[in-house]
Amino acid sequence: MNARLRPILIKLGSMRLTLVCLGFLMALVFIGTIAQVPMGTYEAQKKFFNSFLVYGKIAGFSVPLYPGGLAIGSLMMVNLISAYALRFPYRRKQAGVVILHLGLIVLFAGQFFTQLLSTESQMPIEIGQSTNFSESSRRMELVIAGMSNSDHEDVTAISEDALAREGKIALPGKSFSIRVNKFFKNADVRMAGPNENPIANRGVGLKITAGDQPPVATDDQNNNTSVYIEVFEGGQSLGVWFVSLGMGAPQSIFAGGNEYSIAIRPIRYYYPFTLKLKEFRHDIYPGTDIPKNFSSQVHLTDNETNESRDALIYMNNPLRYRGHTFYQASFGKNDTLSVLQVVKNPVWLTPYISCVLVMLGMAIQFLTHLTGFLKRKNENASA
């Protein structure tokens, strides 16, 4: 190995670095847990654990104060891999150590890829109804749907991130384009007073003023994501609309001789199969209101694979189908609505593999210790 690289690798793989990482991670976990009280789990998770640096405000400036979960995690991976390269004793007596740390690598890598690849969404279904899509519970999109005469609807969706950048957005295949004049993560919407001039000059926005309010912190509230958009056709402005999640019905615009509806709604994920809710059960223990069981009986129909069957989804027993997992998450409307959590995570098996490896490694390691210790003890006793 390169003589100049080796000392660096030795440092990177050192036990001291392990301790530093563990110490920093402990403190981060502690702070990140306490911070969930004011921030809510979701926001705290983003700020502390799914980040490279944790920023804080000092004198009005946002400055990095502490390494985030991703930074510490990456350093621990480097530490582990360097230790594998240089330090680990590949002897039979130490086989446990080697196996158990391999398990840790699988675990970390698995969580990293989960972060990257997995999506979570919700699928509310009412009894008797069918659906083939689920909705994100946090991320929104602006949807422009053509009401043309053709059989299927032509839908253009613009994600929240694109809206947040504000400015012009071209719409491929459309005769018009839009410009986001203002994006609100969480808008405070009021009826406009007599002396206020609404910014919008079309649609519902004519009677409304909107202001920024801080994004909600707790996990059970939603942000009222809203935008002012201006529609342009052939270089001419067709007007400014105010579109908001809080408005139930979509608004209409006329452009290029067609009518389009615009609305903000949760991002949708479509599936090549449908689920129909046949029955929802919410059992309680007799004489109490303690829930005993929630379960949804669904009928799965997939024309591509020619499958059509019933499935029972209940607590601790999800339905896994074509890379998606459907969990019983919530319910509503007097027990006539069941909400399924839909998760797509291609690396969901990694924790299972990791668990086996680490347990095996630890068991080998500690049992070697223990037998050695008891042997010595017996020798001492008989001596």
Q: In the numeric block, which tokens belong to residue 341?
A: 């959590």
Cβ 78 to another protein shortest distance, Å: 16
Instruction: Compare residues 13 and 205 and give the one whose CB is closer to another protein.
Output: 13
Cβ 65 to another protein shortest distance, Å: 19
Beta bridge partners of 282: 294
Instruction: Compare residues 171 and 311 and give the one whose CB is closer to another protein.
Output: 311
Instruction: Compare residues 148 and 293 and give the one whose CB is closer to another protein.
Output: 293
**Distance from C-alpha of 325 to C-alpha of 18, rounded to nearest angstrom:** 36
**Distance from C-alpha of 75 to C-alpha of 54, rounded to nearest angstrom:** 16
Binding site for another protein (CB under 8 A): 15-16, 18-19, 22-23, 25-26, 29-30, 32-34, 36-37, 40-41, 44-45, 48-49, 107, 110-111, 114, 118, 120, 284-288, 290-294, 315-318, 325, 327, 329, 341-343, 345, 348, 351-352, 354-355, 358-359, 362-363, 366, 369-370, 373, 377, 381
How many C-beta atoms lie closer than 10 Å to residue 371's C-beta?
10
CA proximity to 75, closest of 119, 21, 11: 21
CA proximity to 125, closest of 312, 275, 314: 275
Instruction: Compare residues 88 and 232 and give the one whose CB is closer to another protein.
Output: 88
Dmax of the chain from CA atoms? 102
Cβ 329 to another protein shortest distance, Å: 7
Classify residue 199 by its DSSP letter: S
Instruction: Compare residues 197 and 380 and give the one whose CB is closer to another protein.
Output: 380
Cβ 90 to another protein shortest distance, Å: 17
The alpha carbon dihedral of 170, 174, 179, 185 has a sign of negative
Cβ 248 to another protein shortest distance, Å: 27
CA proximity to 263, closest of 219, 213, 215, 204: 204
**Distance from C-alpha of 266 to C-alpha of 241, rounded to nearest angstrom:** 19
Rg (CA), the chain: 28
Cβ 100 to another protein shortest distance, Å: 9
Q: For residue 74, give the H/E element and its range.
A: helix 69-82
Instruction: Compare residues 322 and 369 and give the one whose CB is closer to another protein.
Output: 369
Cβ 360 to another protein shortest distance, Å: 11
Cβ 22 to another protein shortest distance, Å: 5
Cβ 206 to another protein shortest distance, Å: 36
How many C-beta atoms lie closer than 10 Å to residue 50's C-beta?
11
Instruction: Compare residues 180 and 343 and give the one whose CB is closer to another protein.
Output: 343
Cβ 84 to another protein shortest distance, Å: 15
Crossing angle (nearest 10°) for helices 69-82 and 95-117: 150
Instruction: Compare residues 80 and 187 and give the one whose CB is closer to another protein.
Output: 80
Instruction: Compare residues 125 and 210 and give the one whose CB is closer to another protein.
Output: 125
Determine the Cα angle at 221 with ends 218 and 222, to 5°.
120
Give Cβ neighbours of residue 182 (< 8 Å, ≥ 6 apart): 166, 199, 227, 228
Question: Are the beta carbons of 240 and 197 closer than 8 angstroms?
Answer: no
Type of residue numbered 319: L
